Amino acid sequence: MYRLILLVLIPAVLGCLNADTNSCASFIKSQSATASPFCATFTQSTVTATTGLPAWATNCSQRPSLISKECSCYYTGTGSGGTEPTGTVPTGVTTTLPASSGVVTSSAPITVTASFDGGMKRYDRSTTVCEEQTETGEDDTIFILEDGATLSNVIIGPNQAEGVHCRGTCTLNNVWWSDVCEDALTLKQSSGTSYINGGGAFHAADKIIQFNGFGTVQVTGFYAQDYGKVVRSCGNCSGNGGARHIILTNLVQ
């Protein structure tokens, strides 16, 4: 069984704050699994009290008006878990590669077991391992994410070959690929859901995301430029045949 759900929504300008520079906008944009359910009810009425705010409201200086405004930029309150009604045009997708705050090189993949925040630095291999569309493997990635790991605020450079490999379910928040080599992200989960929140990829001669596992991948607020395919699933993997669900929401290209 294979199901593809594709929803492409182009953002409009509603006076929303820049998610690259404002902590409140950044959290609400990138942490959809946490923010969306709260925003769905919070934006239904005017709220002025600071009691009952979630812990992450510290990103918004505990200001209900700011939370309400930024919630409205990304999610519209419907009382149904934060899903976006037909006709809603969300905002906040960044369409340019963010400036890096520094450069980090590594001679081997960086393994993430829990959570890694790159602080918007550019990460790359110290020597070029990219061979364009030659299939290589995990050894030629820049990041390997263990099951359940989260990678945030990273720009991936052009010298790596395989970008990011997720051995199980994973979450990517505001991860960017400046120049995709063979592919940007490979998902190997046996079940469950992986999330790609924000970020984007440039210059993918073939595909951006390779889905070799099973379960669901949910891509939200992602930008793609100069690419062959956004997502490709495996057609001849060993043990192939399980269900794959691909949900693309607010993809800008």
The CATH number given to whatever domain includes residue 185 is 2.160.20.10
Same domain, 123 and 206: yes
> Is the predicted pLDDT of residue 98 greater than 80, yes or no?
yes
The first and second tokens of residue 39, run together, are 């925003």
pTM, two decimals, is: 0.65
Quickly tell me which residue has 């925040």 as its tokens.
117
Residue range(s) defining the domain that contains residue 62: 17-74
Which range has the worst mean pLDDT, 65-69, 113-117, 226-230? 65-69
Same domain, 181 and 242: yes
Same domain, 156 and 42: no
Same domain, 192 and 232: yes
Q: How many domains does the chain have?
A: 2
6 φ/ψ angles, rounded to the nearest 5 degrees? -125, 120
Same domain, 143 and 193: yes
58 belongs to a structural domain: yes
29 belongs to a structural domain: yes
134 belongs to a structural domain: yes
Same domain, 108 and 68: no
How many other CB atoms are found less than 10 A from the CB of residue 178? 17
Same domain, 121 and 211: yes
Q: pLDDT band at residue 1, thresholds of 50, 70 and 90?
A: very low
Same domain, 69 and 133: no
How many other CB atoms are found less than 10 A from the CB of residue 168? 18
Same domain, 238 and 163: yes
Angle between helices 23-30 and 64-74 (to 10 degrees): 40
Three-state DSSP class for residue 158: coil
Residue 223 CA to residue 124 CA, distance in Å, equals 20
Which secondary-structure segment (H or E) carries 42?
helix 32-42
